[in-house]
Amino acid sequence: MQPDLLNLHALHHFRTRSPLTHCMTNDVVQTFTANVLLALGASPAMVIEAEEAEQFSAIADALLINVGTLTAPRAQAMRRAIESAVAAGKPWTLDPVAVGALTYRTRFCQQILALKPAAIRGNASEILALAGMSAGGRGVDTTDTAASALPAAQALARQTNAIVAVTGEVDYVTDGLRTQTLTGGDLLMTRVVGTGCALSAVVAASCSLPGDRLDNIAAACGWMKRAGTLAAAHSKGPGSFAPAFLDALWELGAQR
């Protein structure tokens, strides 16, 4: 099913609630991720130290776990933050960056699946690997199409009771039974560091919204694709695309 790509109703809720989103994300994308959340109307925070992360995840509306620059101390902090979020009834989202390609992060992500993520967002190779159906991609880059990973995403959703979003040229968002399909975006989104990781943060924030979580996550994917399309129309290349993308997110709906 192709949903309303913009979903103004969900966007209104997102901006009204301004979800406080705890992003334990990778070092490469922190600034861009924060700016994407701010442009959409959320409130980002990057709290990494284990004791503070554990405390803050119970306060925040949502938690993102992105393993892009995983270390042993950071893994410990992430686990403490997840356990605290779960105890407080706050949703957490997993971005399994490069899972399958690297052993340590693969083992860690497989272990924390038992802590019941609300959502999982990854590229096709990451989702296939997390579901145990592939060895992974080429580092952080997928070597599979999103369509080929849809059965794995559906199986993973049924296994974990999470909403799984496998994203790429086409995005598929599934709860294992229902699936929404989103088209759009632009190739330039793959030429700017952090668009996928930022999408995971928006997905995490959307998990805190009222209503159908599948619809809310599909809306999050739709906002990013729509902004990518708009930004590409006003860009000459990656350097001009990034600020145009933030502006496009800010202007979505054109009502403030």
- The 10s digit of each residue's pLDDT in 195-218 is 999 999 999 999 999 999 999 999
Report the C-alpha gap between 156 and 39 in whole angstroms. 31
Burial of 148 (0-12, 13-18, 19+ CB in 10 A): middle
Q: What is the mean pLDDT of residues 8-12?
A: 91
Task: Report which of 93, 68, 70, 65 is spatially closest to residue 80, judged by C-alpha positions.
Answer: 65
Residue 255 within any structural domain of the chain: no
Residue 256 within any structural domain of the chain: no
Q: Does residue 256 surpass a pLDDT of 50? A: no
Helices first, then strands: H and E counts in the chain: 10, 8
Residue 194 within any structural domain of the chain: yes
Task: Please tell me whether 194 is known to bind a ligand.
Answer: yes
| pLDDT, mean over the chain | 93
Burial of 123 (0-12, 13-18, 19+ CB in 10 A): buried
Q: What are phi and psi of 151, to 5 degrees?
A: -60, -40
Task: Please tell me whether 142 is known to bind a ligand.
Answer: no
Sequence-ordered list of residues with C-beta below 8 angstroms from that of 197, at least 6 positions apart, any chain: 25, 26, 28, 29, 32, 33, 66, 68, 95, 97
Domain containing 152 equals 3-250
CATH number of the CATH domain containing 161 = 3.40.1190.20
> Do 14 and 21 contact (CB within 8 A), yes or no?
no
Task: Please tell me whether 189 is known to bind a ligand.
Answer: no
Q: Give the chain's radius of gyration (CA, Å).
A: 16
Task: Please tell me whether 190 is known to bind a ligand.
Answer: no
- Which stretches does DSSP call E strand in the chain? 20-24, 43-45, 62-66, 92-95, 119-122, 163-166, 171-174, 179-182
Count of domains for the chain? 1
Q: What is the pTM of this model?
A: 0.93
SS3 69: coil
pLDDT digit string, tens, across residues 27-81: 999 999 999 999 999 999 999 999 999 999 999 999 999 999 999 999 999 999 9
